[in-house]
Amino acid sequence: MKTDGQIEEIKSRIDIHALISEYVDLKRSGSNFKGLCPFHSEKTPSFMVSPSKQIFHCFGCNKGGDIFSFIMNYENMTFPEALSHLADKAGVKLEESRHSDTDRGLKDSLYAINDEAMRFYIKNLTAARQAVTYLKERDIKDETVSMFSLGYARGERDELMRHLRAVGYSDAMMKSAGLVHYGSEGAHDFFRERLIFPIFDLRGKVVAFGGRTLSSSKNVPKYLNSSESPVFKKSDTCYALNLARNTITQKGYAVIVEGYFDAIVCHQFGFTNTIAPLGTALTPGHLRKLKKLTNKVLLTFDADSAGIAAARRSVELVYAEGMISKIVLLSEGDDPDTYLRKHGADNFRKIIGKAISPVEFFLSRAGKSKIEGLRQFLSIISNCPDTLLRDEAIRELSDLASEKVLRDELAVITRKNAGRARDHGQPGTQDAVPEAPVEISREEDILLNISLSNPRLARRIAESIDMSSLESPLSKKIFTNILSLPPDTEPTQERMLADCSPEERSAVNRSAIEPGIDLERIAQNINECLKKIRLNAVAERIAEAKSSGDENSLRALLLEKKKLMQKRVELFSQKDSK
Average pLDDT, the chain: 84
**C-alpha closest to that of 257 among 281, 276, 237, 229:** 276
Q: What is the mean pLDDT of residues 255-284?
A: 93
- Is 574's pLDDT higher than 60? no
Per-residue 3-state assignment (H helix, E strand, C coil) for 5-17: HHHHHHHHHCCHH
Q: Which residue has the higher pLDDT, 435 or 345?
A: 345
Torsion of CA 465, 466, 469, 473, to 10 degrees: 70
**C-alpha closest to that of 225 among 241, 209, 236:** 209
| CA atoms of 386 and 528, how far apart (whole Å) | 44
| Residue 55 contacts residue 66 (beta carbons within 8 Å) | yes
| CA atoms of 575 and 363, how far apart (whole Å) | 72
Amino acid 428: pLDDT: 45
Amino acid 438: pLDDT: 59
- Is 285's pLDDT higher than 50? yes
Question: Could you give the domains of the chain?
Answer: 4-90 (3.90.580.10), 97-232 (3.90.980.10), 358-423 (no CATH), 442-566 (1.10.860)
pLDDT tens, residue by residue, 97-135: 444 445 557 888 999 999 999 999 999 999 999 999 999
Helix-helix angle 455-463:522-548, to 10 degrees? 30
Phi, psi of 227 (to 5 degrees): -70, 160
- Is 429's pLDDT higher than 50? no
- Backbone CA torsion sign across 395, 398, 404, 409: negative
**C-alpha closest to that of 278 among 324, 234, 227:** 234
Q: Which residue has the higher pLDDT, 371 or 348?
A: 348
Q: What is the Cβ-side half-sphere exposure of residue 501, based on CA atoms within 13 angstroms?
A: 8
Q: What is the mean pLDDT of residues 208-224?
A: 88
- Is 209's pLDDT higher than 90? yes
Q: Which residue has the higher pLDDT, 273 or 504?
A: 273
In the structure, what pLDDT confidence band is assigned to residue 464 with cuts at 50, 70 and 90? confident
Amino acid 427: pLDDT: 46
In the structure, what pLDDT confidence band is assigned to residue 431 with cuts at 50, 70 and 90? very low
Classify each residue of 329-347 as buried b or exposed e, where b means 16 or more C-beta atoms within 10 Å of its C-beta.
Answer: bbeeebbbbbbbeeeeeee
In the structure, what pLDDT confidence band is assigned to residue 436 with cuts at 50, 70 and 90? very low
Amino acid 569: pLDDT: 58
